[in-house]
A and B are shown apart, each in its own frame.
Chain A
Amino acid sequence: MWQALSEELKDRGFTVITVALDKSADDARPWIEAARPTHPTLIDTRHVLADLYNVVNVPTIFWIDERGRIVRPNDVAFGADTFKHITGLESARHLGALRAWVSGERPALTAEDVRRHQPLPREADQQARAEFGLGQWLWAQGRTEAAERHFVRGGELAPHDFTIRRGTMPMRGIDPMGPQFREMVQAWAGAGQPYYRPLPDTAGKQ
């Protein structure tokens, strides 16, 4: 999804790094191989990135500048419009802003805006991630019934964290695109909560 952009901007001091929050490399492999990427495409079965960056859903994107500073935190963006009919999010707004930042035409967010938009994890979020960590380890050991308890507990502690609530479905024998997923999103939306939380300047019309 991001390979075209990566190729377009690679000579401008820019790289894409993708990180798959999947239960195994094999789950992500077909997508990665089809994209024939020239940038790093990494696998994160233990949700290291989610823990460090407070990622609660996918896709979540970050812009990081030359000095290693976050200049656009936890935004939602797609590299193409494949899922636009479902998500209501078009790729063009973010791609335009990204091109302008990489080429130096427009700055990224100010430090003040980054601070304002940066979601910080609470204790319950980190407790949920510990439950995920235990569940994921138990699952990898083949102790799936025990794993289930901790995946469920994690989702209860952090109901907004879909890397846990949806991301564990493939380990629990639940179709992550199926009726249980749709029911979960409907209940969430019914409670007035958005499934995707793009930053205001890339949100477009939803």
Chain B
Amino acid sequence: MSTFTLIDAEQAVEVQARVAGGRVLLEPGSLKDTLGWEFHDGQLCSDAMCIPIAEASALIRDGGIELDAFARALDRPLAVDVEERAACLGASARERAQALASQHAPDFTLPDLAGRSHSLSEHRGKKVLLVAWASW
């Protein structure tokens, strides 16, 4: 068992895991401590919600939580680099599409050049022109 980096919502956390036959098996206690997910009674649960798992044998292997199956259960995309011992849990297409279809502008918080954080929601009550640009 050694550490594996999981990037979730732009935050990198170190989870205890082992790699067996190309599969990443997360140590259940470590997953609960870092991302707050726990498998019990046929469900994968966090503070906010529980997801019923139809086939527990696909999720739990040799006492570990299989990373691919974990991402699938959460309906989230997963990019993995087994060699680098790192993976990124992306945002669910369904969730993002629903949010945009609602026409509510998703809130975000980002830094300026001085490192000071700004949120879109601070400008509620004003009309906003939001511009995504880049130097490239």
Which A residues are CB-close (under 8 A) to B96? 51-52, 54, 120-121, 126
In the bound complex, CA of A68 to CA of B108 (Å): 12
Which B residues are CB-close (under 8 A) to A129? 77, 90-91
Given the interface contacts A44-B110, A49-B110, A61-B132, does A69 sit within 8 Å of B104 by beta carbon?
yes
Instruction: Please classify how large the interface on chain B is, using the bins under 10, 10 to 19, 20 to 34, 35 or more.
Output: 35 or more
Q: Is the CB of B112 within 8 A of A41?
A: yes
Partner among B87, B125, B128 whose Cβ is within 8 Å of the Cβ of A134: B87
Q: For the complex, is B7 an interface residue (Cβ under 8 Å from A)?
A: yes
Q: Is the CB of B104 within 8 A of A146?
A: no
In the bound complex, CA of A25 to CA of B114 (Å): 9
Q: Which stretch in A10-18, A85-93, A189-197, A198-206 binds the other chain?
A: A10-18
Residue of B nearest to A67 (CB): B124
Which A residues are CB-close (under 8 A) to B91? 51, 126, 129
What mask results when residues 42 to 56 of chain B are scored 1 for a CB within 8 Å of chain A, else 0?
Answer: 000000000000000
The SS class assigned to the B binding surface is mixed
In the bound complex, CA of A66 to CA of B12 (Å): 35
What mask results when residues 42 to 73 of chain A are scored 1 for a CB within 8 Å of chain B, else 0?
Answer: 11101011111111001111111111111001
Which B residues are CB-close (under 8 A) to A167? 134, 136
Q: Is the CB of A70 within 8 A of B104?
A: yes
Which B residues are CB-close (under 8 A) to A159? none
Residue of B nearest to A143 (CB): B84
Which A residues are CB-close (under 8 A) to B133? 1, 18-21, 58-59
Q: For the complex, is B61 an interface residue (Cβ under 8 Å from A)?
A: no
In the bound complex, CA of A63 to CA of B113 (Å): 23
Which A residues are CB-close (under 8 A) to B111? 25, 42-43
Q: Is the CB of A19 within 8 A of B113?
A: no
What mask results when residues 120 to 150 of chain A are scored 1 for a CB within 8 Å of chain B, else 0?
Answer: 1111011101110111011000010010011
Q: For the complex, is B2 an interface residue (Cβ under 8 Å from A)?
A: no
Residue of B nearest to A154 (CB): B79
Q: Is the CB of A133 within 8 A of B90?
A: yes
Q: For the complex, is A98 an interface residue (Cβ under 8 Å from B)?
A: yes
Q: How many residues of A contact B (CB 8 A)?
A: 85
Q: Which residues of B88-111 are within 8 A (CB) of A?
A: 88-93, 96-97, 99-101, 103-108, 110-111
Residue of B nearest to A94 (CB): B129
Which A residues are CB-close (under 8 A) to B12? 137
In the bound complex, CA of A123 to CA of B77 (Å): 8
Q: Which residues of A159-206 are within 8 A (CB) of B?
A: 163, 166-167, 169-170, 176-177
Q: Which stretch in B15-23, B24-32, B62-70, B115-123 binds the other chain?
A: B115-123
Q: Is the CB of B112 within 8 A of A19?
A: no
Which B residues are CB-close (under 8 A) to A126? 76-77, 90-93, 96
Q: For the complex, is B81 an interface residue (Cβ under 8 Å from A)?
A: yes
Residue of B nearest to A169 (CB): B136
Most buried by A among B104, B107, B121: B104
A138 to chain B, nearest CB (A): 6
Given the interface contacts A19-B133, A40-B112, does A54 sit within 8 Å of B127 by beta carbon?
no
Given the interface contacts A48-B110, A121-B93, A130-B78, does A13 sit within 8 Å of B127 by beta carbon?
yes
